[in-house]
Amino acid sequence: MSNYSNFTKAYLYSAIAPTDAQMAGFHDFLSRKYERDIEVSWVRSKEYPGGFRLEIGNDVYDWSKEGKFEQLREKLTYLAKHSDNVIPLMKETVHNWTPEAIALEVGTVLTVADGIATVEGLENATYGEILIFTDGIRGMVMDLRKDEVGCILFSDEAPIMEGSSVYRTGKTAGIPVGEKYLGRVVNPLGEPIDGRGSIEAKGYYAIEHAAPGIIDRQPVNRPLETGILAIDSMFPIGRGQRELIIGDRQTGKTAITLDAITNQKGKDVICIYVAIGQKASSVAQLVNNLKIKGAMDYTIIVNASASDAAPIQYIAPYAGCALGEYFMNQGQDVLIIYDDLSKHAIAYRSLSLLLDRSPGREAYPGDVFYLHSRLLERAAHLSDELGGGSMTALPIVETQAGDVSAYIPTNIISITDGQIFLESALFFEGQRPAVNVGLSVSRVGGDAQTKAMKKATGTLRLDLAQFREMEVFTQFSSDLDESTRKQLLYGKGLMRVLRQKQYSPYSGEEEVILLVCALNRIFLDVEEKKINDVAAGLLSYFTKNRPDIKDRITGSEGLPDDLKQEILSVAKEYMSKR
C-alpha cells in the first residue's frame, strides 16, 4: 500500500455520474484502505466506457474494460509460465474470474534519452523492478533517488515522451525457462531470434538471484573435460568451478570454449553460450559451427549483439545464468560461457554514467566488482539434498597488450578459481591453444582430475617451466652441450604434443596415453614438425590394435605401473614399425 500522507482527495473518472450510494461506497473503501478520511470528486470522462478510473496520488484503480482485461491477461500469462496443465486451468480461471481492486502505482516520465528514463511519482518502486511504459515498452529500475527513479529501457525509446505515464508491475526482471530452449538462439529477454517460432516455457526465473550458500554446496570434485590436452592435464576444470579465460584479442579465447562445448556431446551436460557485444555475423558463424558438430542439440545461445542497446547487453549474462540455474536445479550439469565480461563491464559503465553515478577508477562505478561477483558466485556444485546439479562458469576477459593488472581483469581474477592465460607471442608462433603455463592456474587442481590423468600428468608443468627458462638463456648461444640440446628437444616436443587443432578434442584415455608417451620421451627422436602426425598415428594404432588399454585406463583407479609399462611397450612397438 502506498503511503500518501499528503493526499486526502481522490478523483473518480467515468462517463456516467455515480449515485450517492456509490460515492459513499468509494469514500468508505478509500478511508479503510488509506486509514484516513478521503474526499472523492467526480470528473466526467468518456475515456472509460463501461467502467471508471479512481486516482489518489499515484495510485490508480482501473475498473474500465481495458483495466479488467489487463488483469485477466496477467493472470493467464502467469498460469502459462508456471503451470504444466495450462489449458484446463485457463478455462477454469476465465469461467470463475472476478476482477480485484488492485492499486496501480503510476508515475510520470521526466526525461528520456540514450536508453535511460527518469520517472517521478513511483515512491514504492524497488531496485530491479520492471516498469511498463508507452506502447508496452519495458524497463528496469536501476537507480533509486528521493523524488525519482532511474530506469533502463529494453526497447526503442522513440514512443516514450516527457509526461508519459509509467506503471509499476511489482515484478522483478526475469526470463522464461524450460527444456524447449535447447538448440535455440534467444535474446536476454528470452525471446527467440533464430526465426524458428515461439518457445514453450516451463517456468519463469528471476535474472538476479542470490547465490547458493555454503551449506547448499559441495566440493568441486568431478572433472569437466574440455578435450584440450593442455588444459585437462595442467589446469583441470571441475564441475561447479569458475575458470577465467583471459588474453588479448584474437588469441583463441572463444575457440577454447567452443572446443569445451563440442566435447560435452554425449556427456549429459547442458551448455549455454552468452554472447555480449559480439558481431551478429560472428554469432551466426558460431551457431553454424556448433550445428555442424551436432552440439546445438544440448546448447542454448543467449545473444546480446553489438547493435543492441547497453541495457540489453547488461542483463545478458544474468539471463543466461538464470537459464543455467533452471537446469542445475533439476540435478543436471551445466557449462556456461560469458563472452565476454569486458564488454559487459563497458555496457554497465555506460549505464552508470548516464544515471549520473560517480565514476571511479577508469571511469567505472564503485560497484563494478559486485557486478561480476554476484554473477560468478552463482556457479556451484549443489549438495545432494538439492539434487547434486552443477553450473560451471567460463568467463572470458579481453586484455590490452597482455596487461593482466588492469582494473577489470584483476577484479575477475580475484573472483574466479583460476585463470587460463593465452599469450599473443605463443599464438603467433603457432602454438594453439596459446596457453602460458607460468601465468595460468587452476585453484581446484587435481581434485578435478581422474586419478589416471593426475598420475599421467606427473612433472609436465615443471618440465615446461624448465624448458621455457632454458630457452630464454640459450637463444643467443650457438654452442650447446649434448645434455642441454636434448633437454631443449624434449621441451619443444612437449610443446608440439600440446598443440591441438580446433574441434579435435581428445578423450580422457587418449590424453593419458599421449602424456605417458611424451613424458617418457617416446617422441624425442621424431622431427619436431612431424610430432603431431606421429601422435595421431599412435592413437589410431592403440584404437585399432589395443582397444583394451583404453578400457583399462577408464576402469582403473589410477595408473598402475604395469599399465603404464604396457602403454610404453605398445608405443615403442608403433614407433619401430612406422
Asked whether the predicted pLDDT for residue 232 surpasses 50, the reply is yes
Q: What is the Cα–Cα distance from 417 to 241, expressed in whole angstroms?
A: 7
Question: CA 351, CA 344: separation in Å to the nearest integer?
Answer: 11
Lowest mean pLDDT: which of 85-99, 371-385, 463-477? 85-99
93 — pLDDT class (breaks 50, 70, 90): very low
Q: What is the 3-state secondary structure (H, E, C) of 85-136?
A: CHHHHHHHHHHHCCCCCCCEEEEEEEEEECCEEEEECCCCCCCCEEEECHHH
Q: CATH top-level class for 456-577?
A: mainly alpha
* Distance of alpha carbon 179 from alpha carbon 203, whole angstroms: 10
Q: Are the C-beta atoms of 519 and 459 separated by less than 8 Å?
A: yes
Least trusted range by pLDDT, from 120-129, 346-355, 375-384, 428-437 = 120-129
Instruction: Return the number of other C-beta atoms located less than 10 Å from residue 475's C-beta.
Output: 7
Whether the predicted pLDDT of 135 surpasses 90: no
- Fold of the 176-448 domain: Rossmann fold (3.40.50)
The DSSP code for 201 is -
Residues 6+ apart with CB under 8 A from 520: 568
Ranges of beta strands (E only) in 384-449 are 390-399, 418-422, 441-442
* Range of lowest pLDDT (13-27, 247-261, 263-277): 13-27
Read out DSSP for 284-305?
Answer: HHHHHHHHHTT-GGGEEEEEE-
Residue 6 has φ and ψ, to the nearest 5°, of -90, -10
- In words, the CATH class of domain 106-172 is mainly beta
Q: Per residue in 99-132, pLDDT tens?
A: 454 556 788 899 999 999 999 988 888 999 999 8
H-only helix segments in 2-110? 20-34, 65-82, 86-96
How far, in Å, are 6, 18, 19, 42, 87 from residue 23 at the CA level? 22, 6, 6, 9, 40
Segment 341-368 mean pLDDT: 93
Does position 12 have pLDDT exceeding 70, yes or no?
Answer: yes
| Structure confidence at residue 219 (pLDDT) | 94
Global confidence as pTM: 0.84
| Mean pLDDT along residues 264-272 | 96
pLDDT bracket for residue 179 (50, 70, 90): very high
Across the range 51-75, mean pLDDT stands at: 63
pLDDT at 308: 92
In 142-294, where does DSSP find H-type helix? 229-234, 253-262, 280-292
In the set 443, 461, 468, 499, the catalytic residue is: 443
Q: Does pLDDT of 98 surpass 60?
A: no
pLDDT of residue 99: 47
How far CA 459 is from CA of 8, 515, 516, in Å, comes to 80, 10, 11
Nearest C-alpha neighbor of 283 from the set 269, 296, 267, 266: 296
176-448 and 456-577: identical CATH topology: no
What are the residue boundaries of the structural domains of the chain, listed by start? Answer: 9-63, 106-172, 176-448, 456-577
* pLDDT confidence tier of residue 92, bands split at 50, 70 and 90: low
Contact yes or no for 343/235 (Cβ under 8 A): no
- Computed on alpha carbons and rounded to an integer, the radius of gyration of the chain in Å comes to 30
Query: Nearest CA to 165 among 68, 58, 67?
Result: 58
Mean pLDDT, the chain, whole residue set: 87
Contact status, residue 143 vs residue 149, Cβ threshold 8 Å: yes
Say whether pLDDT at 19 is over 90: no
Confidence of residue 210 (pLDDT cuts 50, 70, 90): very high
DSSP conformational letter for 263: T
Active site residue 443: yes
Q: For cell 516498469, name the residue.
A: 131
Q: Indicate the pLDDT class of residue 2, thresholds 50, 70 and 90.
A: very low
- The answer to whether residues 264 and 335 touch, using CB atoms and an 8 Å cutoff, is yes
